[in-house]
Structure 1
Amino acid sequence: MEKKITVSVVMATYNGERNIIEQLDSLKNQTKVIDEVIICDDGSTDRTVEMIQEYIALNHLNNWTMKINKVNKGWRQNFMDLLNEASSEYIFPCDQDDIWYDDKIEKMSTMMSKNPKIAVLVSNYTEIIEEGGHSSKLQPLKTQLNSLYHQIIFVRENVMLKRPGCVYAVRKDFVLNVTDYFNQALNSAHDISLWASALAFDRLYLLDEPTIVFRRHGQSTFKKETITSKKESKYQYRINMLNRYNERLNSLNQYIARENGIENKQKKEEIIKRMMKINTNRANLLEKRSVIKIIFSFGKYGKPFDYFADIYHVFKLRLGKD
């Protein structure tokens, strides 16, 4: 007799009344019944909580739970706590404002059940761009085809986060690894921790098709954080972003060195160190604000695009357009 696949969906909410019903509908209408839905609100001041509670009661969703944090945790900690609380074999993080395709859970959970090597599975997405939103172009991934399954391999192009948290699924027995990464990394988040830990263990895979409509608008908590960080000049933001990338890379490097069971540690550490060196050189060159110094530093760049982009931004700064 074939083993039953159990799935949980965990959703962190905060002031999401504008789009929450569409998301809830897309969960309720999944072709595979969800065994457990846990929704945790982080102190909304709008009608998010009431709308969810009414939806659960109206649709008799006895396996859905609505919780309210006594104090605001922030979306990062809220999601991590939910991942640890969920009890099913496969866990799906869910944002409050997207629309899932009806067969998302069925396709992703089936794929994971057929390949025990998969600890974290990500998919592609399509977009809705709303007022104030900007496109988040689907980034290409380098994969290796292993028995019809696309493994995301540990190469420079894949090291940094390439998919938002709303297209993930994780095995329950891998959540501890994800939590270990989150707890030791600086300014991490659930998607960064899922991506980095699974990539380090060579257990990150791709379902190469869209499973959600990813809503892009100017009201999300992450979007507001980004706007706040960009209050510095665009030029300084560029330098600060390179330094933040190095913080993430250093966290991944420490995780690989510390964890047992990770293969090819030396090769992975060398890739990370090379990326960090490039970022440090770029940040130092940008700090000098010299076009000439960048022009004669082509060999210090990993990608031609970054080389020409940095020249362009220094020109803009020198012309007073930043």
Structure 2
Amino acid sequence: MSEKVAILLSTYNGQEYLAQQIESIQNQTYKDWKLYIRDDGSTDNTVKIIKEYCKSDSRIFLINSSFRDNLGPLKSFFYLLKKVQASVYFFCDQDDLWLQNKLEVMLNEYSKTNYPQLLYSDLSVVNENLQKIPDNNFEFLIGKITNQNRFVDNDIPGCVMMIDRQLRDLAVNYTKNYTYISMHDWWLALIAESFGKITFINKKLVLYRQHGNNALGAGMKSQNNIFQKLFSKKVINLRKKHIKKIYFQNNHLLEEYGDLLNHKYKKFLIEFKKCKYSSYYGRYKFLNKYSLKRTSYFQTIAFKILFIFDLKNILNEDIK
């Protein structure tokens, strides 16, 4: 494998676990990589740790416009994407651990094509001590989303993702506004679905660490009954926020990439946008036409009920 491999890492107050993550990259069986780190305004010893590794390993680089800039993970990762030139890109979280063969396995599954590509693997959810968490619902959802369902849910966290240069260029050159983008990984998955190919590698290559400071985390299996899962106020508000988020994110994709989209996805996104003005029956027909579903049975039920009967209110509501 002769690809120029870039690993992108955005850090923020990650001193506790950062060294373990960097060393798991250094211990990869595939050695020809470069790690580019952007710190997002840490106030602990994160930058000091990064600089120490930069001194000891010529493959590690600290990339910053200003250490005072706190962009958030979405803009921070896009900053790195814009700055770094490579053939393929991996995304890295500061608190996980990569299995030694992660790069090798994923690169062996990749072959150059004339269309954009995204590959992703499975993961294992672990606690702060890297012990497996058995009762979680996150790792069982990865690898379950295909086709238009990617526009209503995401099963590709950035830490298991690899993209090629073509996908990177599409994302960097046409994404002008970040306001309605949920997260960099989901946005890249939408672009890959719309213009290229997504490949799932059914191997657990990352230890996805859960602790009190996660920016995003893996949910635990709920012990509530079906009624509570579907109709508690907290859950309903979460589902409403999700619907609002995907509606505006999909509209944003249509605005940014509409002239490039093929007929299949342009038609889908236009119909999705029109659902705001449709009747209950019109939205029901739309969901059935595309067999839209989320990553779990209960989420799908809640999504369909709220989308059909409450979409107009949700889009105008300030949901807490």
What TM-score comes out, normalization by structure 2 length?
Answer: 0.72
Deviations 1:262-291 (A, max 9, x none): 43x2x223433555566887xx99xxxxxx
- What is the deviation of 1:47? 1.0
Structure 2 counterpart of 1:216: 210
Distance in 1, matches of 2:41 and 2:150, equals 38
The residue that corresponds to 1:271 in the other structure is 268
Corresponding residue number in structure 1 for 2:50: 52
2:258 aligned counterpart, secondary structure: helix
Question: Which residue is 2:249 aligned to?
Answer: 248
Counterpart mapping for 1:1-322 below 5 A: 4-57=2-55, 60-68=56-64, 69-70=66-67, 71-113=69-111, 117=115, 119-130=117-128, 135-139=137-141, 141=143, 153-156=146-149, 160-184=153-177, 186-188=179-181, 189-222=183-216, 234-259=235-260, 262-263=261-262, 265=263, 267-275=264-272, 302=288, 305=298, 309=302
Deviation at 1:113, TM superposition (A): 2.8
Q: Which structure 2 segments of 5+ residues have no match?
A: 218-232, 310-319
Report what 2:223 is aligned to.
none
Give the secondary structure class of the aligned counterpart of 2:202: strand
Contact 1:243 1:280 in 2 (8 A): no
In the alignment, is the contact (CA less than 8 A) between 2:150 and 2:189 conserved in 1? no
> Which residue identity is paired with 2:252?
S
Deviation at 1:158, TM superposition (A): 6.1
Deviates more, 1:172-181 or 1:24-33: 172-181
Structure number with bigger Rg: 1
Task: Give the AA of the match of 2:92.
Answer: C
CA offsets, 1:106-153, max 9 Å, x none?
11122223656452211211111459x9753442546xxxxxxxxx75
Residue 127 of structure 1 contacts residue 135 of structure 1 at CA under 8 Å; is this kept in 2?
no
Structure 2 vs 1, CA of residues 136 and 108 (structure 1 numbering), >3 Å: closer, same or farther?
Answer: same
How far has the Cα of 1:171 moved from its partner? 1.3
Instruction: Specify the alignment match of 2:314 in structure 1.
Output: none
Structure 2 CA distance, aligned partners of 1:33 and 1:181? 32
Aligned identity (percent) is 24
Following superposition, the deviation at residue 161 of structure 1 comes to: 2.1
CA contact (8 A) 2:160 2:205 kept: yes
Counterpart of 1:205, as a letter, is T
C-alpha offsets along residues 282-306 of structure 1, whole Å, 9 cap, x if unaligned?
Answer: xx99xxxxxxxx9xx9778656856
Cα 1:171–1:306 shift into 2, 3 Å: closer
